[in-house]
Amino acid sequence: MSFRTHWADNVQESLITQTITIAGWVQRRRDHGGLVFVDVRDRTGLVQVVADPRNPMFKVLDSVRPEFVVSITGTVQQRPEGMGNRDIASGSVEIVPNLVKVLSESKTPPFMPQEAESVDELMRLKYRYLDLRRTSLFHNFELRDRVLFSLRSFFHEQGFLDVETPALARSTPEGARDFLVPSRVQPGQFYALPQSPQIFKQLLMVAGFERYYQIAKVFRDEDLRADRQPEFTQIDVEMSFVDREEILRLMEAMMKQIFWDALDVRLPDFPRMTYKDAMHQYGSDKPDLRAGEALVDLSDLAHQTEWNVLRQATYTVGVRCRQYAPSRKQLDEWTQFAKDLGSRGLVWMTKAEDGIRCSATKWLDSEFQEKISATANLEIGDTLFLVSGDDPRPFEVAGQIRLEFARRENRMESGWRFLWVTEFPLFEWSEEEQRLTSAHHPFTMPMEEDRSLIAVDPTAVRSEAYDVVLNGIELASGSLRIYQSEVQQNIFSALGLSDTEIQEKFGFLLQAFQYGAPPHGGIAFGLDRIVMLMAGAKSLREVIAFPKTARGTDPLMEAPSTVADSQLAELGIQVQGRHPEK
């Protein structure tokens, strides 16, 4: 006799009078003395088993406790009139057992899986296997599986090859902090876990693989967030002999495919926006298009006023809050919100039946207020917030106010608002290091028409880099790569790298490029983030089976941990200032 002939959710009226076997965990026991009900849960759902004292299995069934593992053979019967349960798929029937096997007993669990949602996250991670018994959490992993299946078939059909690249690689400068792995055979030397398979996939293009993809684990030793784990999964893609349009078109097709396959959602074409427009219209390089209309640039008007604060600021940006009449207290909160973000202040303006009210009446006459109102296209009942300053602060602050307003006032639209952001800057100035750094990475192709600026005005140079944004979250980032060595040289010298440094850090790649590098480009998607958004989850922990805490620990395995001195000795490593116990 097998452990199981049917899944819980498949126990339906069509099986009435048949003898079947189900297996799973005891979710709940309801003991009525003369009648006992047991809900058995498997990964599909619940099914009710019922027995009365005349049933030879009554005593066994009555003895089970939550989370016992059972296999139950019995007859499917219709539930009595009015006794159905609409909340479960098998709710119109139940099983009368003729064999109840307790396969495994369970201690009283620290929490019941179905109540785990309200349990402290630390507890949930420590007993992750109990947490994962929740049907709702399991559904996230089913979704993840459907997405992966869809992805692989898409790539396979499009002629992409799944190629694995090393997890033990070389530490490269730039980018995130590396996780290091000491080498035993080469004492004092270290591998680095890859932040991305970037170099390898470019080498595969030089190798003539043409179309590569990989579902790759990558590692970044930076501080964590709800949407950031130290190790996560990328859908890594690289293609040769393609231009930007072709990459964008294919990758957009891929996203549409997985939404269709995994969620039955038909996505419309993704709108495009340049980085500059994104910053000026939404104050962010990842605009959330659900949060209402764009910011309004009132700089030209602001420069005409006598009021120095506005006149001298490079930019004055407005956030339009439609049909919003904030209280005095709320206005103070908004002012504080803007200040916390680094704005020197916040001007507000509301348009009412009897005219405009404004926090800066002292400095802005009513005629000017009318002008602003007209330019911002205010209607009666609207509120406008104005932020002034020098680029890019006012846009960023206004963008944050726009988002926070939509959140606080429940104005966030629903739906999947995808967006391509293009023409990212090639370089950015690092205040910390006091030098120019690559915004994406040093192999990113500058835009043809901006190449002459590389030496004279590097931060004005735009690149062939692009992001996919969904509902204000960055899902993917990619670029065309440089394949001509003279362009690469220009970039390196703009970054202030000496020939020695270049050879030391990127020599192997540059050498490869001397043997015939095809034009190529690619992109990498954050798979976990995609699944998180598709599942409607608030944290990556909901779509990763064994995630880390915000401090990078795993409470289940208790990783990281100390290791034996002999292990360290083998590696030639001495630990400084080790915590005595832990």
Partner RNA sequence: GGAGGCGUGGUGUAGUCGGCCUAACACGCAUGCCUGUCACGCAUGAGAUCACGGGUUCGAAUCCCGUCGCCUCCGCCA
Binding interface with RNA (CB under 7 A): 28, 30-35, 37, 39, 48, 50, 52-54, 65-66, 79-80, 83-85, 87-88, 91, 94, 108, 110-112, 115, 118-123, 125, 174-177, 195-196, 198, 220, 222-228, 428, 431-432, 437-441, 477, 539, 541, 549-551, 553, 555
CB of 262 to RNA, least distance (A): 24
CB of 197 to RNA, least distance (A): 9
CB of 118 to RNA, least distance (A): 5
- Of 118 and 410, nearer to RNA (C-beta) is 118
Nearest of 2, 79, 71, 77 to residue 42 by alpha carbon: 71
- Of 34 and 577, nearer to RNA (C-beta) is 34
CB of 526 to RNA, least distance (A): 10
Pair 88, 63: CB distance under 8 Å: no
- Of 198 and 388, nearer to RNA (C-beta) is 198
DSSP assignments along 187-246, one per residue:
TT-EEE--S-SHHHHHHHHHTT--EEEEEEEEE--S--BTTB-SEEEEEEEEEES--HHH
Pair 55, 97: CB distance under 8 Å: yes
Q: In b/e form, how buried is each residue of 418-440, taking b as 16+ CB within 10 angstroms?
A: bbbbbbbbbbeeeeeeeebbbbb
- Of 259 and 287, nearer to RNA (C-beta) is 287
| Widest pairwise Cα distance in the chain | 94
Burial class (CB within 10 angstroms; exposed 0-12, middle 13-18, buried 19+) of 118 = exposed
Q: Report the 10 Å Cβ neighbour count for 564.
A: 8
CB of 87 to RNA, least distance (A): 6
CB of 574 to RNA, least distance (A): 21
CB of 32 to RNA, least distance (A): 4
Q: Which residues contact 207 (CB under 8 A, 6 or more apart)?
A: none
Helix ranges (H only) for 264-379 are 275-282, 299-302, 308-311, 328-340, 366-375
- Of 175 and 519, nearer to RNA (C-beta) is 175
- Of 297 and 542, nearer to RNA (C-beta) is 542
Q: Between vectors from CA 230 to CA 224 and to CA 236, what angle results, nearest 5°?
A: 120
CB of 4 to RNA, least distance (A): 21
- Of 438 and 488, nearer to RNA (C-beta) is 438
| DSSP-based three-state secondary structure for 390 | coil
Q: Which residues contact 411 (CB under 8 A, 6 or more apart)?
A: 291, 292, 405
- Of 224 and 453, nearer to RNA (C-beta) is 224
Q: Amino acid identity of 426?
A: L
DSSP β-bridge partners for residue 30: 37
Q: Both tokens of residue 265?
A: 């959602």
- C-alpha 173/C-alpha 193 separation (Å) is 13
CB of 185 to RNA, least distance (A): 27
Phi first, then psi: give them for residue 76, nearest 5 degrees: -80, 130
- Of 238 and 382, nearer to RNA (C-beta) is 238
- Of 145 and 222, nearer to RNA (C-beta) is 222
CB of 559 to RNA, least distance (A): 11
